Structure 1
Amino acid sequence: MLLSLIISSQLLFAQPDTQAVKQINVPMLHPRVREWAYPVNNVKVPSNSVCLLWPGITGKNAFYKIMMATDAQFTKNVINGDEQRWAVYPLHQNIKEGKWFWKYASKATQNDKWQWSATNSFVVEKSKSNISSPSSKQVLVDLKNQKHPRLWSLNKNRESFFTNNKSNPEALAFVASMRKLLGKPLPEEKPTRPRDTTGMNDLQKKQMIEFMYHGFGNKVANPIKDLTVAYYLTKDRSFLDEAIKQGIHVANMDPKGYASRDDFNNGNIVEGLATLYDLGYDFLSEKDKQLLKSAIKTRGEMIYKNLPNRFELQMCDNHVWQHILRNFSITALAVANDIPEANEWLTYVYEVWNARFPVLASTDGGWHEGNGYFRVHYKTLIYLPLLFGEISGRDYFEEEWMHNLAYYILYSYPPKSASVSQGDMHENLSDMVRNQALFADALSTKIDNPYLVWYAKESRKLYPNFFRANDDFLLFRLLNYKGEKQELASKKPDDLPKSRNFNDVGLVAMHSSLNDISRNVNVFFTSNPYGVAGHAHAAQNALTINYKGKKIYGGTGFYSNFSDAHNLLDYRSSRGHCTILADSLSQRLGEDGYGWISRFMTGNRIQYALGDASNAYGNLTTAFWLDRFTQIGLKADKKSGYGDAGVKQFRRHVLQLDSNYVVVYDELEAVKPIQWTTQMHSPYLMKEGAANIGNAKVFELEADFVKSNATVFSSSNSTISVHDKYNYPAKNWKGKTDDEGNIIQFSEQWHAGISSSNKNKQRFLMILQVQDKALKPLKNLGINKGVQKIQVGEWTISANLDTKEAASLSILSSDQKAAFSYGNNALNVAGKAVKINNASSSVLIENGIKQEVIDTLPAVVSQDIGN
């Protein structure tokens, strides 16, 4: 079937639809702390088991309650919530279809009068999800008659746990390792990783002391937990006696001392003590029980006092969601009813889990901070669904997000490959890391997905040493071990689409070969609706390109500290990412520096995404980040690379063609003439190359496994700079180590920037080649009315670089079986006009099959619309 591209004709189009190109005109989509109620404005909710959320009020002892009904006068089908100290309310029941009204009341102290909010409304549709969980009241009633041990259902499954693992090689190896702990000296309260603080300022010393004790809680609590598990595997009292000896010793430690007062250490210790109390209950003396309960209560209250009316309101308190919530939930379940305060602890964590999980995504399976810090959440994401599922009867692994998580793992972090280089610690993911493989393996037993099973099998085959030691997921594997069992269905991902859009978190992952990394060209494109919150970076409309599993272009720099100078001025800044600088200024840090994926199509030969980062730029105003600058004696001003350049538009089209070419087309506009710089970064040597087409600029990459260059066309005169220097040096002043304990070398990396002359409107076209053989020369097919036409390999590419004319991009394969068109172009197939519904749409045709898309807003815009 012949396919030809006709550039000049406009007759085949419908008139441009202004709704095809959408804009978002709100300061942020996901505020750091909840600022409006949900659900409101007659939104159609995704489930008929609704969770109500609302902004909190100031006050350590604030109180709330809710009221719901099917009429605005609150007389029909009325639901009244009990008084509570937190600002979330999962209904724990399936409500009838139709319109519902609700409001909430608050008061700062018990003696104040209730202040009611305005009435909100939402709509429950037919055929929506009806998965619900029992109320926390019911959970506590059920626990009253439940004997210890409660954790991991060992009260009813202790014999099957013992029997199933009797011949389990992994269990036997674990028990052997536990025997080596018997009779060991009791742990001392001292730094786990001593460092010299000479010459450090007060802030650095404070951070270093915390760093030196990091992991102390794990060091003293893990043996206690492991020894109790060893007892249940063997019924050998020597393990439990050793656990009790160590647990009593740790219970006597000062909860305010350096060793255990920080949230990580305290959380791990209280979990260890609670596990001993629960699993060792029948063997503890009354004196030991009282000591453990006293220590658990003291440490538990230290955690809990900082949670209600704060934690549930925040977009994501990372430390709590990563670790403390898991520690505290296990603790609360273990001692509920035995410690009266623990009933409220358990109620709180159970309610927040049901209302907010998954906290940094919605349904698409992604995680907005990137995979460097996503992996810190893995242990919680395995054990808390298991824990809460056991006490509620609800299968949290059946959530839509959990099922899509299988695809996020596969597309964003393939086996034997680097991941996407966005977010803190991305540089540590240059290959598969241990907890990634272990997490996928554990999840594959709970999620019915043959591609995830394949992923887990590949990980075991490629990295057998990852599965030969006591690790974070060993207990999970032991709990789920059933002896010889039927092999789980496994399937290679070669029949999956080559690309996938994780729209909720703004990640498009494109691959030429998901199941064969040795020939895979992988393009990641990020534009994040959450903005730069937590561990995310100012990397809206940014690229990562991996080849044969290795990163060749992407984020640069090192995670030395959450907010030192290198972090704020390079690594976290847009300066460190393959995106656009506006007048040499970064995108904002903060939730208001957001982007979004507005279009996506995937074919066999052409993959396409369009990102909009028009809202990402401006003055840095977020108090959280301004305070970080102040702490280290910097200002978030133009000298530091931050400020308002007046950006009005940044739309970036990204296409992967076959396996070898990446095309990037940028539409840029500001309120005044400014300099625009498009950047690419690499860990490999880059240098300026010779250009032979107009004012194009070329840079080349040199590495022994890949040949790559990029030709960048500009709508204005441009200059190129290639160098290997950061704006602020990267120094490993804390002696940070990788996953294997090796000190990380903070090396220089390479940076290429192509800068325009000062223009209020600007366009860039970048044609990038990636392969392991000789690169194809670009052939200039001329420029006509601002449209630059280029041939490279099997492709002809035409882009309008005249900013006075409408933007357009068209691509055609030499066999005329694959084509792409955006903007003011027309398509003709076999002499017949192809109907294109909108002149502002993007169209992809392969083998006569047409896809056409216009802008799609992020789901949060239509769901959480209180702003």
Structure 2
Amino acid sequence: MKTLLYLFSTVVALNVSAQEAGVIKLSQDKLHARVREWPYPMGGTVVSSNAPALMWPATNGTQMVLPMESGSEVPQDPGIADVRYKVVLARDSKFTKNVIASDVQAWAVYPLHQSLAPGSWYWKYAYAKNGSDSWTWSQVYDFVIDAKTQGQQVSPPVSEVLARNQVAHPRLWDMHTRGEVFYKNNRNNPEAHHFIAYAEKLMQEPLPVEKPMRVIDTTGKTPLEKKKIIEAMYHGFGDAVGTPISNLCIAYQLTRDERFLRDAKRRALNIAQMDPNGLATGDDFTSGAVLEALGWFYDTGYHILTEKEKSLLQQIIRLRAKRVYDHLPNRFELHVSDNHIWQITMRNLTIATVAVIGDVPEAKEWLSYLYEVWSARYPVLGTTDGGWHEGNGYFKVNYKSMIYLSQLFGDLSGVDYYQLPWMKNLPFYLMYTHPPASATTAYGDMWENTPFMTRQQGLFADAFAYRAENPYLNWYVATIKKDNPEYFTRPSDDYLFYRLLNYNPYRKLPQQSPEDLPKLRNFADVGVAAIHSNLADTKKDLSSYLMSNPFGSSGHGSASQNAITVNFKGKTVFGGSGYYGNFSDQHNLLYYRTSRAYSTILVDSLSQKIGEEGYGWIPRALSGERIQYALGDASNAYGAIESSFWLNRFDQLGIDPKSTGVYGDVGVQKYRRHMVQLEGGIIVLYDELEAKQPIKWTTQFHAPYYAMKALPAMDSKVQNFEVMMEGGHATASVFAAVPIGMKIHNKFSEPAVNWANVKDVNGDIKEFKDQWHCGVTSTAVQKMRYLTVIQVKDGKPQVIKSIHTGDGLMVLQVGNWQITVQLDGLKSAKLQIGDAASVFDYGGGMVIDFAGKKYTRKQEGSTLLMEGSKGKVQQYETIDVLPDVVKYDAVR
């Protein structure tokens, strides 16, 4: 631990440098560690809360350890379960003024459940092995509370939460006090009536037995594939046997008819006898679903259980709960996102814990830990902007837990979690990244499962709207209901109980069309800039997305920094490619998860690295009426894989990533991609690229649903191609200052095989079809620039006219727009786009001529956007702006 403490004693300024005016160069190895490696907050950081959570790296009592997530083949240090911590906080570094001291605890996080006074605060933590009174203290860290944070909502201490839960059953969802209101409120609710009729039929269903949900042939499969296939055969079994129990409990609460409760009891006692080590209910998801169902019934049906039956359920709940909890403290709270826990099993454990607290001795500790982690970490994969870093394919897996844990912890604490900044911004993330009747952003695991608006997205948005109080979200939900009424007609779904719980027959839902919202919204925390020409009408919308993620390709994310997605009328024109057959099979690790599968840059044919170390960020964004702009920086995304978690995944397949030709380090030093969307269906990309030595740069474009074909080009420094899309035309022209070649094909570099019989959203086995790809590659140069002009529109694309070429500077005319660009990598970067009413300028001088007048930049090195309308000129300007993680919590 001395090495760790010495490291943290060398805190200096942020690892950033301004080599060019207005430009920030980040030099951190990572912005988000997979497992916490440095304390927070420290170094005099001005925090954004009046009651921050103190966090620090784990120790085994001797040194810092990096415990892996659940399910990892990398063994965790057994010593992490043999450590205790305590924390002290004060207004002075000697710890004599306004001292706050924690109790001894087993986890490495300490939420401050009280408002701190503005000014400087100091803190430190200590650790000791269990059974030892020898405490080792860290150095002293400091932070600043901003006076502007005063008045923020503060969560109560865990002691108050525990006290609020010491009530008679039923206590889940505050039914001890809310039950009568719930019953009366829903007596005339049509949805409740439909559900009760459904529950009547449910009681006629036979008791389930332990058997696969489906059978998949494992002949000829590798041992690892067989293991995954067997898991897939039982996937969903826990929900299939557990959900009927919670549904019958809900039906009882709606009707007071004990027939429903007696049948729930019959089913609960049946699944309580299922083998906790068996294939059917032995893994984290299936066992967690059983655990939650038993918690539901134990709480709701407590009064009809015999003492023997109570004892049996307590034993089974304790056994299954301990299997989850015993691997959490000093591990889970430190992980950037242990996906399975946050997605599902934290909800399972919390519901069961609340049900048995007071009856199972360990439950008090379980709830204390769960509440403290929730208070400190939620939302786990975002900070304030409402975004989700893994992309929208896997975001939906978290929806149910987000809804119900926000409700449950709100019931326990009195805190309205819908008032968190992230929750307030979430409606805008939903709208901008997955509009009604549209595909979503094409990146992250399972992105290909959302080529349209999905039922799960609509149901979640509808549930969220019950508490969000956002008129734009109300419009979003109403539009989805109009487009897809069939999504909302089933008698039961994941969010039915939540709707019943929050049902108000007099509820008013004011709607506001997003037509008055900015055309661009930058979700900088997760690295997504979303642009729409018409957010209010998908049939008229051209949307473009630039992704550059501070989390890197963590978890279900992908090595897609500075990748683009382009959707037209809700259909994906350019985006990702490949198929999610498994988290880490060969197609996944050598193609789907890599940069080869995304519309970004390859370097000497190599991908960006996977893991948190391969990160990007969005330094700049501007939103005008006719021009929208975003800049992504992926300069830190390339190199050899460093993450031990991902290296282990290669080891499991017997593959050395260095020998695959997919990963490696060729010394990339700069990759800044400017994306500009222009009125009239034009998107311009300008790439600034630099390496330590000459390399070949490949700019890629994938059309996952359409064919591509080359178009004639009169110059070796220009390449043109077309996407054979329906309902419009899509072309792209790529320009460079050096010779470039183009290859268009429809084969994956690593074949996609559906060996696990993965199903699509309709339940049919998915066909892994070939997709079309275009790569434009330069000769080997150290510094490179690409200009790409994409046109997507109903009518024929504009002819691109070359007005001037010389000294690397090119002037093009595309309709009314004139584009001036510097393509010579040895000269200063420059991109200017304008017409009579608007001008965009990057790399120009301090003075800009526009509409017959001279305008002066406010900041050297800025990006400038000017638009004239009704005799007035709107001026927008920006230089690089750091993401919040660098401001508040990056390694220093």
Measured against the shorter chain, the TM-score band is over 0.9
Query: Is 1:49 the equivalent of 2:51?
Result: yes
**2:33 aligned residue (31, 34, 46):** 31
Q: SS where residue 48 of structure 2 aligns?
A: strand
**2-structure distance, mates of 1:832, 1:198:** 75
Q: CA deviation at 1:486?
A: 3.8
| 1:706 match | 728
| 2:635 match | 614
Contact 1:57 1:108 in 2 (8 A): no
Question: More displaced, 285-294 or 642-651?
Answer: 285-294
**2-structure distance, mates of 1:525, 1:765:** 16
Contact 2:29 2:613 in 1 (8 A): yes
**2-structure distance, mates of 1:677, 1:461:** 43
**2-structure distance, mates of 1:472, 1:486:** 21
Q: Which runs of 5+ in 1 are unaligned?
A: 1-15
Deviations 1:467-517 (A, max 9, x none): 11211000001111123x142110111000001000000000000000110
Question: More displaced, 156-165 or 371-380?
Answer: 156-165
**1-structure distance, mates of 2:235, 2:726:** 39
Q: SS where residue 170 of structure 1 aligns?
A: helix
Contact 1:512 1:520 in 2 (8 A): yes
Contact 1:39 1:866 in 2 (8 A): no
Q: SS where residue 724 of structure 2 aligns?
A: strand
Paired-residue identity, % = 47
Deviations 1:125-151 (A, max 9, x none): 11215211111111112222x111011
| 2:838 match | 818
Contact 2:602 2:697 in 1 (8 A): yes
Q: CA deviation at 1:261?
A: 1.3
Query: Is 1:787 the equivalent of 2:802?
Result: no
| 1:421 match | 442
Q: CA deviation at 1:716?
A: 1.2
Deviations 1:751-782 (A, max 9, x none): 00000000010000000100111111111102
| 1:642 match | 663
**2-structure distance, mates of 1:351, 1:788:** 58
Query: Is 1:272 the equivalent of 2:293?
Result: yes
| 1:560 match | 581
Q: SS where residue 609 of structure 1 aligns?
A: strand
Q: CA deviation at 1:694?
A: 6.1
Deviations 1:156-205 (A, max 9, x none): 12122122212222111111111112243211111112211111111111
| 2:76 match | none
| 1:510 match | 531
Residue type matched to 2:756 in 1? K
**2-structure distance, mates of 1:18, 1:812:** 25
Q: SS where residue 445 of structure 1 aligns?
A: helix
Q: CA deviation at 1:385?
A: 0.8
Q: CA deviation at 1:398?
A: 0.6
| 1:481 match | 503
Query: Is 1:859 the equivalent of 2:884?
Result: yes
Contact 2:21 2:861 in 1 (8 A): no
| 1:340 match | 361
Deviations 1:314-367 (A, max 9, x none): 000000000011111111111111111100010010000000000001000000
With the length of structure 2 as denominator, give the TM-score of the two structures: 0.94
**2-structure distance, mates of 1:567, 1:670:** 27
Q: SS where residue 262 of structure 2 aligns?
A: helix
1:563-712 residue pairs with structure 2 within 5 A? Answer: 563-637=584-658, 639-682=660-703, 683-692=705-714, 695-712=717-734
**1-structure distance, mates of 2:559, 2:727:** 30
**2:304 aligned residue (253, 270, 283):** 283
1:238-317 residue pairs with structure 2 within 5 A? Answer: 238-317=259-338
| 2:460 match | 439
Q: CA deviation at 1:691?
A: 1.7
**2-structure distance, mates of 1:334, 1:133:** 22
**2-structure distance, mates of 1:80, 1:311:** 23
| 1:10 match | none
Q: SS where residue 290 of structure 1 aligns?
A: helix
**1:499 aligned residue (501, 504, 520):** 520
Query: Is 1:135 the equivalent of 2:137?
Result: no
| 2:196 match | 175
**1-structure distance, mates of 2:417, 2:327:** 26
**2-structure distance, mates of 1:659, 1:283:** 68
**2-structure distance, mates of 1:830, 1:493:** 30
Q: SS where residue 20 of structure 1 aligns?
A: coil
| 1:850 match | 875
**1:403 aligned residue (424, 427, 434):** 424
**1-structure distance, mates of 2:749, 2:241:** 41
**2-structure distance, mates of 1:575, 1:180:** 50
Q: Which runs of 5+ in 2 are unaligned?
A: 1-17, 61-78
Question: More displaced, 598-607 or 474-483?
Answer: 474-483
Contact 2:639 2:664 in 1 (8 A): yes
**2-structure distance, mates of 1:152, 1:463:** 31
Contact 1:707 1:773 in 2 (8 A): yes
**1-structure distance, mates of 2:318, 2:825:** 66
Q: CA deviation at 1:638?
A: 5.1
Contact 1:686 1:750 in 2 (8 A): yes
Residue type matched to 1:798 in 2? T
**1:362 aligned residue (383, 386, 394):** 383
Q: What is the Cα-based RMSD across aligned positions, in Å?
A: 1.2
Contact 2:837 2:851 in 1 (8 A): no
**2-structure distance, mates of 1:246, 1:82:** 42
1:319-398 residue pairs with structure 2 within 5 A? Answer: 319-398=340-419
**2-structure distance, mates of 1:518, 1:506:** 26
| 1:775 match | 797
Contact 1:41 1:866 in 2 (8 A): no
**1-structure distance, mates of 2:403, 2:664:** 41
Query: Is 1:802 the equivalent of 2:824?
Result: yes
**1-structure distance, mates of 2:444, 2:202:** 38
**1-structure distance, mates of 2:761, 2:773:** 27
Contact 1:599 1:855 in 2 (8 A): yes
**2-structure distance, mates of 1:823, 1:706:** 34
**2-structure distance, mates of 1:645, 1:17:** 22
Q: CA deviation at 1:244?
A: 0.2
Residue type matched to 1:45 in 2? V
| 1:91 match | 112
Residue type matched to 1:208 in 2? I
| 2:759 match | 737
Question: More displaced, 661-670 or 795-804?
Answer: 795-804
Contact 2:716 2:740 in 1 (8 A): no
Q: CA deviation at 1:256?
A: 1.2
Q: SS where residue 363 of structure 2 aligns?
A: helix
**2-structure distance, mates of 1:17, 1:818:** 30
Runs of 4+ more than 3 Å apart: 16-19
Q: CA deviation at 1:112?
A: 5.5
Q: CA deviation at 1:693?
A: 5.3
Deviations 1:367-400 (A, max 9, x none): 0000000110001111111101111111011101
**1-structure distance, mates of 2:805, 2:569:** 35
Residue type matched to 1:778 in 2? I
- Larger RCO (alpha carbons 8 Å, 6+ apart): 1
Deviations 1:272-316 (A, max 9, x none): 001100011112111111111111011111111111111001000
**2-structure distance, mates of 1:435, 1:757:** 46
Contact 1:62 1:110 in 2 (8 A): no
Contact 1:594 1:613 in 2 (8 A): yes
Query: Is 1:531 the equivalent of 2:556?
Result: no
Q: SS where residue 149 of structure 2 aligns?
A: strand
Q: SS where residue 630 of structure 2 aligns?
A: strand
Residue type matched to 1:28 in 2? K
1:54-93 residue pairs with structure 2 within 5 A? Answer: 54-58=56-60, 59=79, 60-93=81-114
**1-structure distance, mates of 2:821, 2:565:** 23
Residue type matched to 1:852 in 2? E
| 2:13 match | none
